[in-house]
Structure 1
Amino acid sequence: MINIPVLETERLILRAPREDDLDREMDFYSSDHSKFVGGQTSKMGAWDKIVGRVGHWAVRGYGFWHLDVRETGQYVGRCGLLKPFGWPEREIGWSLMPDALGHGYATEAAFAARDFAYNTLGWETAISLIDPANTPSQRVAERLGAAYETTFEHVEYGTMHIWRHPSPEAL
């Protein structure tokens, strides 16, 4: 078994991906909301993304958590730490289900993920790679204190903006 820690915030529980997340994942990956994270995919593709997140934990020792609203238990998205093949640096990333947008969940979860990266894993820096057209994610990055730094040309996703998070010392 892979040990994926559970993190808790005021409103969210950040926990390991589970098989019963598949239907909500499929809702997301069959919608236009998936355009900034690889685009639409089949149910098998959504399954592969779930197990890939678990695999990232196994290979790197960190990864994405799935987010549940504490009060209701509803699965609302994912957030965490990643460095997939081809990424320039370790990243803090997030994406939410369409019905979970506008509640501040991404910001709340990303603060918890960054705290884990800096205070548990000992990271000294982190970025967020954000599509230039993804203004909602840019606003989340700003709320986290990250600043636009430069562009990065990804072989599959094209031009991405690198947003640099404040260092642990700056926080």
Structure 2
Amino acid sequence: MNAHATYPATLDAEGLTLRVPTAQDLPHYAAFYAVSDVEVGGYRGNRTDAEVQTILNRDIAHWEAKGIGIFLVFEGTTFMGGTGLAHPDDWPCHELTWWLMPQTRGKGVATRASRAVITWAYDTLGWDRVETHMRDENTPARRLAERLGGEIDRRQTFPDGVTRDVFLLPRRIA
């Protein structure tokens, strides 16, 4: 039994369902990494089966160890991607993060899912701040942070050597 047994099995996100991944979600992870053109957690698309299994295992273990993590995002039974709160052991702070199947981008999925996670962090976890860390060249993610009401709080150099803008995300925007 872990110390974080209170994390939710699912969150509702304006017509989307967010749920904690399980070992049975390997096909969803494999589908994402087979077509992804973006870097997620240090991984890019076209990963081997063993690498995809390692990523899924890491995400499940993150929930068990920290009580937060990546939710898988579904609209009905259609897998859309993932979003959640990550805090790798070597990272200085938590971060709202997301990744989407290419065909779901530009449809408001990341916005709706991220709002649900932000609300959960503030209202259920009792956090006093939620942030996301942005590479300078990641224009789509910057636009999402701004849609979520995020404002640049600081610039910080992270353990991977990349200096990023840190966006502070409010509880909820009108």
TM-score normalised per structure 2: 0.85
Identity of aligned residues (%): 30
2:21 aligned residue = 17
- How far apart are the structure 2 equivalents of 1:64 and 1:16? 7
Q: Which aligned pairs between 1:1-171 and structure 2 lie closer than 5 A?
A: 3=5, 4-5=7-8, 6-31=10-35, 33-40=37-44, 41-70=47-76, 73-156=77-160, 158-166=162-170, 168=171
Structure 2: gaps (5+ residues)? none
Instruction: Provide the aligned C-alpha RMSD in A.
Output: 2.3
Counterpart amino acid of 1:67? V
Q: Are the aligned partners of 1:127 and 1:162 in contact in 2 as well (CA < 8 Å)?
A: yes
Q: Are the aligned partners of 2:85 and 2:96 in contact in 1 as well (CA < 8 Å)?
A: yes
Structure 1: gaps (5+ residues)? none
Q: How many residues align?
A: 168
Between 113-122 and 61-70, report the one with greater CA deviation. Answer: 61-70
User: 1:32-91 CA distances to partner (integer Å, 9 max, x unpaired)?
Assistant: 523253132322111111121111111111111101113xx1111111112112222222
- How far apart are the structure 1 equivalents of 2:60 and 2:43? 20
- How far apart are the structure 2 equivalents of 1:52 and 1:103? 28
